[in-house]
Amino acid sequence: MAVRAVGALRAVRTTRAPVTRTLIVLCCLVFAIGPAGGLNPAHGSGDALLAAQQAYFRRWGVIPAELFTGSARAALTPATALFVHGSWVHLLGNMLFLHVFGAMTEERMGRVRFTLFYTGCGYLALVGYALAHSASDQSLVGASGAISAVLGAFLYLFPRARVTSVLPFLFFLPLRLPAWVVLPFWAGLQWLAAGRAGQGPGVAYLAHVVGFGLGFLFAWVRHGGPGRRGRRPGGAVVGAGLNVTHRSRNADRE
């Protein structure tokens, strides 16, 4: 596993978006090694595997009721939770969106700034969710807060980029629409869903909303002004769907 990881990380350094590729590789490796993937026999099976998953989420995920207690370990969990996912669907959905929107955003921002932007906005998105649900003891895992920030920044930097979206309520008919139509629509759905979300296990829609807003604000402050916006991209950006998270009994997914 270690040899393969080194080889994968060497390969992504040669791409035009090495940070985006590295983040995808790291999330996939963490998932494969941890109990959520069910691939490591060391975590057992059946009830033992479920217990290992719950302990894993509580150790590395954000627990809002513990985040503001002054514990140094709890303060680090919004960073570690960005690399933990609860299922294959959760992981692949998030990585798809990161792959589609991360490369162009990274190229526009630069590697170092994009790295700080991704981790910083992801951390703050989880903290924002925890502030709104400070009594919850449900663990929160996933990179969607950070990826939502990438979507927000992409909207400001490349509003006219064409995004191919598959909408369930239109019988999964693929439509090519500009980012300024697709991404605000997606953010609006997250906002509406956040208003109906309860305290129990499920999707942390509020983290999506916070991340999206932070990403757009960052791009506006850092790249705003005449002549500073990104150029209209020549190729189409291909996306799929508008909801990349799902419910689970083990942990909130964001």
Annotated catalytic residue, options 144, 148, 165, 248? 144
Q: How confident is the model at residue 198 (pLDDT cuts 50, 70, 90)?
A: low
**Alpha helix stretches (DSSP H) within the chain:** 2-12, 18-33, 47-60, 64-67, 72-80, 88-109, 111-132, 144-157, 179-196, 205-223
Whether 241 has a pLDDT exceeding 60, the answer reads: no
The per-residue pLDDT of the chain, averaged, comes to 80
Q: Which two tokens stand for residue 13?
A: 């350094």
Q: Which two tokens stand for residue 203?
A: 């999707």
Least confident of 119-123, 188-192, 194-198, 247-251: 247-251
Q: What is the pLDDT of residues 3-50, one digit of tens each?
A: 333 443 444 444 579 999 999 999 999 999 999 888 888 887 888 888
Q: How confident is the model at residue 190 (pLDDT cuts 50, 70, 90)?
A: confident
Mean pLDDT of 58-78: 93
Expressed as residue numbers, the domain containing 249 is 2-253
Q: What is the DSSP letter of 203?
A: B
Position 59: which residue type?
A: R
Least confident of 80-89, 163-172, 245-254: 245-254
Q: What CA–CA distance (Å, rounded) separates 45 from 49?
A: 5
**CB-based contact 207:226 (threshold 8 Å):** no
Q: How confident is the model at residue 168 (pLDDT cuts 50, 70, 90)?
A: low
Nearest to 140 by CA among 9, 12, 20, 253: 253
Q: What is the pLDDT of residues 75-107, one digit of tens each?
A: 999 999 999 998 898 999 999 999 989 999 999
Percent of the chain with pLDDT over 70: 75
Query: In this predicted structure, what is the pLDDT of residue 179?
Result: 87
Whether 234 has a pLDDT exceeding 60, the answer reads: no
Annotated catalytic residue, options 43, 165, 208, 248? 208
Q: How confident is the model at residue 184 (pLDDT cuts 50, 70, 90)?
A: confident
Q: Look up tokens 């270690």; give the residue.
A: 2
Mean pLDDT of 236-241: 38
Domain count, the chain: 1
Rg of the chain over Cα atoms, rounded to whole angstroms, equals 18
Nearest to 146 by CA among 215, 196, 92, 86: 215
| 223 tagged catalytic | no
Residue 239 makes CB contacts below 8 A (sequence gap 6+) with 96, 97, 100, 101, 163, 164, 165, 182
| 45 tagged catalytic | no
What is the CATH number for 104?
1.20.1540.10
**CB-based contact 204:82 (threshold 8 Å):** no
